[in-house]
């Protein structure tokens, strides 16, 4: 069996080919989980109807550092925020300004909102529990 490179968030994973990664949000996908969730194969990104997704900007604790290190850390956080926003743009197809604005504060989304945002493709539980159930579109 040949290996196929999978590129996700500028990280290349070599896995047996053919491979199809399905991501599922069962409860809450927050922080890094909300970035991994849309990394599944297009049309294989699912959220259960009761699932929630939360995106936010990177955080740091500036209160215990000197002024010089605080400025440097602040600059690094801004670079990380830009990079994370660009990853969301690449994965979801949304505009940069929309992602950047949504990341400014904690943005909580229902499964349907996450679908509209491009983080998941489907809301429902078809094929997950072994029975065919309705997928909400």
Catalytic residue list contains 61: no
As beta bridge partners, residue 109 has: 53
> Which residue in 34, 50, 56, 60 is the catalytic one?
56
> Which residue in 3, 10, 17, 31 is the catalytic one?
31
Q: Write out the DSSP string of 19-85.
A: ----EEESSEEETHHHHHGGGSPTT-EEE-TT-EEEE------GGGS-HHHHHHHHHHHHHHHHHHH
Q: Beta strand 3-8 with 28-30: parallel, antiparallel or unpaired? A: unpaired
Catalytic residue list contains 56: yes
Separation of alpha carbons 84 and 56, rounded Å: 10
Q: List, by residue number, the catalytic residues.
A: 31, 56
């Amino acid at each position: 069996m040949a290996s196929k490179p999978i590129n996700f968030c500028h990280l290349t994973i070599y896995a047996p080919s053919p491979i199809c990664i399905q991501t599922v949000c069962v409860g809450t996908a927050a922080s890094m989980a909300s970035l991994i969730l849309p990394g599944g194969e297009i049309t294989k990104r699912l959220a259960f109807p009761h699932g929630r997704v939360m995106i936010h900007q990177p955080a740091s604790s500036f209160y215990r550092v000197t002024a010089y290190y605080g400025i440097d850390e602040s600059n690094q956080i801004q670079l990380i925020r830009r990079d994370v926003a660009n990853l969301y743009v690449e994965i979801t197809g949304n505009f940069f300004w929309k992602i950047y604005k949504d990341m400014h504060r904690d943005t909580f989304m229902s499964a349907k909102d996450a679908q509209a945002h491009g983080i998941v493709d489907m809301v429902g539980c078809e094929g997950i529990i072994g029975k065919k159930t309705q997928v909400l579109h």
